[in-house]
Amino acid sequence: MFSQNKKQLLKFIIPILIVLVVSIAGLLSYTISNNKSTALKLNNNTSGKNILNSDEDVINAVKKLMLLPDETPTIITINDLTKYQGQPFFAKAAVGDKVLVFMNSKKAILYSPSDNLIIEVGAINNQTAGQVAGSNTNNVIPTQMPSPLPTPSDFSTEY
């Protein structure tokens, strides 16, 4: 039926076709797997919301939304909302939000990294010079969190 030349040609072509099919299947599998891992990373990033890894990232994100005073702020991360219940400045705050405190300019900014929004801006009532919520900030490096966090008497929404 088949001539000798056709049999030799089939012996040569069949292994090439097998290698080609296996290679295409492997490439397809890798591409699908890579797309799934990329999609998982995006989903773990809270649907594309900001992930800020440093104080500098926070400052740069807020700078895109408003003009900031020419000083390095103290940045406080809100970890417990129960401390701020009933305080107007923190009324719309969420866990993970950041408070940028500018002591020289007497301003505080409540920033939501997850929504990339400035939630509130207030003036610091500097009744006790150099203190935020009872913590002396004269000896604190500006990027460290004072403890405890600011209280309602430290902020007002009026200038």
Average pLDDT over residues 57-66: 93
Domain segments of the chain: what residues?
A: 1-44, 55-156
Contact between 132 and 154 under an 8 Å Cβ cutoff? The reply is yes
Buried b (16+ CB within 10 A) or exposed e, 36-63: eeeeeeeeeeeeeeeebeebeebbebbe
Give the tens place of pLDDT for each residue, 140-150: 333 333 445 55
pLDDT on residue 126: 57
Give the tens place of pLDDT for each residue, 2-55: 677 777 877 888 888 888 888 888 888 888 877 766 655 544 544 445 567 788
